[in-house]
A = this chain, B = another copy of it.
Amino acid sequence: MQPPPARPGDPFEAIDTPALIVDLDRLNANLDMMAAHARANGYCLRPHAKTHKSPVIGRMQIQRGAVGVCVQKVSEAEIMIEGGVGDVLVSNEVASPRKLARLAQAARQARVGVCVDDASVVSALSRAASAAGAEIQVLVEIDVGQGRCGVVTPEDALVLGRQAAAASGLRLRGIQAYHGSAQHIHDIEERRRVVTDVAGIAARTRDLFLENGLACDIIGGAGTGTFTLDADLSVHTELQPGSYIFMDADYGGLPIADPKMRFEQALFVLSHVMSRPVAGRAVIDAGHKASAIDSGLPAPYGLTGVAYVNASDEHGVLEGADDALPGLGERVLLVPGHCDPTVNLHDHYVAVRGLGGPQPIVEAVWPVAARGAGF
């Protein structure tokens, strides 16, 4: 782990670059708005901690009423639990015996759930839970169009649901019905159509579970791009958005279905200009190692007429009219293209209060505790 780029009490100007900046005022506003939406619409909120990778932020979400958090990896679950989060769903499949054994140990420390899409894994999970004397919550994942994991039909889900309900050490809770790419469909009506299909599949599976006497009190899914649409449909019971806390260039460019639910950009990469070799070009110290580009290049924040046109590992190239570009040594805030994998590049959050004001100050420095937690 590298040393932090700042310390609490530092003025904004003292932060070393590149640094991962959180606007605390906007983070709090985003957290509050989502919590209020969940309360007003009567669903449980289980935000996805794969975005922030930080028990500090996970606890902020739970203090505002979230029932727990999602993670994608057993190691992330361990870190959330160690950091004081008492209810963690691995919204993903876990297959290896070693990871299942760790999951069972985690389930002795906190309420822990996991998704399943294979009968042999349900058996192995049951053995791991029984051996540890633990109870693991189980959701059967159904593929609602994502084309990744999950059983394909409600009938297949029923088979696994029956198996999980009968297995020692497991507690069947319901189904996982998440459509990742639906989050990013630009056209709202097309997004609504896809989400309606998702809800239809989820409802049919739920009904099949209930008709057969199986528990289905949790229907999990939804994300930052679809949660208001999912809430309207009232099929999902636990919504799992992650990116809303920070936002990014990808989500920031997406039309939103409910104009009242506009989250603010709260995550930035702070960089500075290390070369101004020719008119019209500024080279900054933030490339692939500072901002992930899987959903597009980062965007300069608050710089009109300036574009981030090229990234190499340690450089970002800005182009624009020369008098619009920042000068040598000047600082530039970037909006990451995709928040989750950008966070995964950094060891620390620098949490800043008053970022838009006259004297922004570093209020806290938080480790990205689950950075690199892939196991």
Which residues of A are in contact with B by a Cβ distance under 8 Å?
A: 1-2, 5, 16-18, 50, 72-73, 75, 92-96, 98-99, 117-118, 120-121, 143, 147-152, 180, 272-278, 281, 283, 285-286, 288-290, 292-294, 310-315, 317, 328-329, 340-341, 344-347, 371-375
Our pick among B2, B72, B289, B329 for the contact of A96 (Cβ within 8 Å) is B329
Q: List 20 A-B contacts (CB under 8 A).
A: A5-B375, A16-B98, A16-B375, A93-B283, A94-B274, A95-B273, A96-B272, A96-B329, A117-B275, A120-B328, A147-B281, A148-B275, A152-B277, A180-B312, A288-B292, A293-B294, A313-B340, A313-B344, A345-B372, A346-B372
Closest to A330 in B: B95
Give the Cβ gap from A150 to chain B, nearest Cβ, in Å: 6
Q: Given A92-B315, A346-B372, list of 12 further CB < 8 A pairs?
A: A2-B371, A16-B375, A17-B96, A17-B375, A50-B313, A95-B274, A118-B276, A118-B328, A121-B328, A148-B317, A149-B283, A152-B277
Chain B residues near A75 (CB-CB < 8 A): 2
Asked if residues A285 and B374 are in contact (CB atoms below 8 Å), the reply is: yes
Minimal Cβ-Cβ distance residue in B for A319: B147
A314 CB to nearest chain B CB (Å)? 4
Please tell me which one of the listed residues B2, B93, B99, B344 contacts residue A345 in the complex, with CB atoms under 8 A apart: B344
**Assembled-state Cα–Cα distance A310/B169 (Å):** 34
Is the pair B150, A277 in contact by a Cβ cutoff of 8 Å?
Answer: yes
User: When the two chains form their complex, are residues A275 and B314 in contact, meaning their CB atoms are under 8 A apart?
Assistant: no
Question: What is the CA–CA distance of A121 and B286 in the complex, to the nearest angstrom?
Answer: 19
In the complex formed, the residue of B with least CB distance to A94 is: B274
Closest Cβ of chain B: how far from A371's Cβ, in Å? 8
The answer for the CA separation of A172 and B110 in the assembled complex, in Å, is: 61
A275 in complex: contacting residue of B16, B17, B118, CB < 8 Å:
B118
Q: How far is the CA of A17 from the CA of B375 in the complex (A)?
A: 6
Complex: how many Å from CA A216 to CA B265?
Answer: 49
CA of A312 to CA of B338 in the docked complex: distance in angstroms? Answer: 11
Determine the chain B residues whose CB is within 8 A of the CB of A152 once the complex forms.
277-278
A283 in complex: contacting residue of B2, B148, B272, CB < 8 Å: B148
Interface centre among A143, A341, A344 (most CB of B within 10 A): A341
Q: Quick check: A93 and B2 within 8 Å, CB to CB?
A: no
- Interface contact A149-B275, CB-CB below 8 Å: yes
> Is A313 a contact of B341 with CB atoms below 8 Å?
yes
List the B residue with the shortest CB-CB distance to A344: B289
Q: Are A93 and B274 neighbours in the complex by a CB distance under 8 Å? A: yes
- What residues of chain B lie closer than 8 Å to A311, measured between beta carbons? 294
Question: Would you call B341 and A288 a contact (CB within 8 A)?
Answer: yes
Shortest distance in angstroms between A205's beta carbon and chain B's nearest beta carbon? 15
CB within 8 A of A277: which of B50, B151, B294? B151
Report the bound CA distance from A313 to B148 in whole Å. 12
- Complex contact B117–A289 (CB within 8 A): no
A148: chain B residues at CB < 8 Å are: 275, 277, 283, 310, 312, 315, 317
